[in-house]
């Protein structure tokens, strides 16, 4: 396993649309293991493969609270098959947009279909933080960042702040 570099705005790779995975094999599981280690190291609670420069439809997540037993989750080729009409606001952040937080409205519940770590198909209802996080990560697979939902002024200020942050790091 290895900690990989997380790309940050305005890296154009983050705007790429990720392609479907053909087969869930040992090589893909090694990628997911690296993604999970990278996410824990950041730290974060979710990560999409494009954030480490791999344009594949793969997401990892762990929503366990600090001090709880880790609950790693793996999502390959995830699809939203239903979204509730109700939406909820949430103060989001992103490892690819460090130190920027703002409110985004998303569907309160989504039903998702995906392949798990072993390539088995799963259909699951997500709500609460799980719903917010999976929608945020699936946006990454379309090359969409949470700041794309903000006003142009807020988005430009966010990118400018991250540029300065990374320059002095």
Quick one: 44 or 78, whose CB is closer to ligand K2U?
Answer: 44
From the list ligand K2U, Zn ion, none, partner contacted by residue 47 (C-beta under 5 to 8 A by kind): ligand K2U
Binding site residues, ligand K2U, CB under 6 A: 44-47, 92-96, 132-133, 136-137, 140
Q: Tokens for 112?
A: 């998702």
DSSP state, residue 52:
G
Q: Which is nearer to ligand K2U, 34 or 92 (CB)?
A: 92
Q: Note the helical H segments in the chain.
A: 26-41, 128-140, 152-168
- Binding partner of 138, given ligand K2U, Zn ion, none, CB within 5-8 angstroms per partner class: none
Q: List the one residue out of 28, 77, 31 whose CA is nearest residue 57.
A: 77
Task: Please state the closest distance from residue 45 (CB atom) to ligand K2U, in A.
Answer: 4
Residue 88 corresponds to which tokens in the numbers above? Answer: 């909820």
Intra-chain end-to-end CA distance of the chain, in Å: 25
* Cα–Cα distance for residue pair 102/154, rounded to 1 Å: 9
**Interacting partner of 44 out of Zn ion, ligand K2U, none (Cβ under 5 to 8 A depending on kind):** ligand K2U
The CB-of-78 to ligand K2U minimum distance in angstroms stands at: 14
Chain residues in the site for Zn ion (CB under 5 A): 94
């Amino acid at each position: 396993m290895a900690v990989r570099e997380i790309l940050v705005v305005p890296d154009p790779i983050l705007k790429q649309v990720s392609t479907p995975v053909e087969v869930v094999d040992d090589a893909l599981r090694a990628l997911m293991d690296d993604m999970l280690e990278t996410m824990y190291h950041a730290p974060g609670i979710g990560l999409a493969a494009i954030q480490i420069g791999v344009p594949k439809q793969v997401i990892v997540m762990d929503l366990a609270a600090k001090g709880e037993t880790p609950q790693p989750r793996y999502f390959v080729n995830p699809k939203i098959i239903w979204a509730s009409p109700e939406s909820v606001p949430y103060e989001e952040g992103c490892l690819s947009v460090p130190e920027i937080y703002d409110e985004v409205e998303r569907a309160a519940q989504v039903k998702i279909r995906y392949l798990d770590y072993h390539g088995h198909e799963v259909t699951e209802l997500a709500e609460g933080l799980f719903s917010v996080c999976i929608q945020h990560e699936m946006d990454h697979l379309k090359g969409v960042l949470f700041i794309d939902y903000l006003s142009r002024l807020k988005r430009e200020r966010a990118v400018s702040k991250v540029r300065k942050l990374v320059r002095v790091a």
